[in-house]
Amino acid sequence: MNDTVTKPKTRTKVERPKLHKVILINDDYTPREFVTMILKAEFRMTEDLAYKVMITAHKLGACVVAVFTKDVAGTKATRATDVARSKGYPLLFTTEPEE
């Protein structure tokens, strides 16, 4: 006969990884066209969306670009900022955890 004792199944909680926002910061020097180009190239945005995000940051001071896991957000923000630096612009992308 089968007299094996089986343990009751316990559910292990799997937490979702916390998401982090990539934020575009306005400045007075980077040309609008360059900001739009970076958003298209680094964040795969359409021209239309890239322009809207750029103009929102321009008017309000900052705009959320996208949300990713912590590592991906950090990598994307650093990469986009570095591309701008390599062209001599002070454009800045930062990250912060989502509430």
CB 65 within 8 A of CB 79: no
Question: What CA–CA distance (Å, rounded) separates 51 from 36?
Answer: 6
Nearer to ligand TYC by Cβ, of 12 and 29: the residue is 29
CB 80 within 8 A of CB 43: yes
Out of 22, 57, 65, 77, the residue judged to bind ligand TYC by CB under 6 A: 57
For position 35 contacting ligand TYC by CB under 6 A, the verdict is yes
Candidates 42-50, 51-59, 67-75, 80-88; binding stretch for ligand TYC (CB under 6 A):
51-59
Question: What CA–CA distance (Å, rounded) separates 93 from 62?
Answer: 9
List beta partners, residue 93. Answer: 24
For position 18 contacting ligand TYC by CB under 6 A, the verdict is no
Query: Which residues form the interface with ligand TYC (CB under 6 A)?
Result: 24-28, 30-32, 35, 54, 57-58, 91
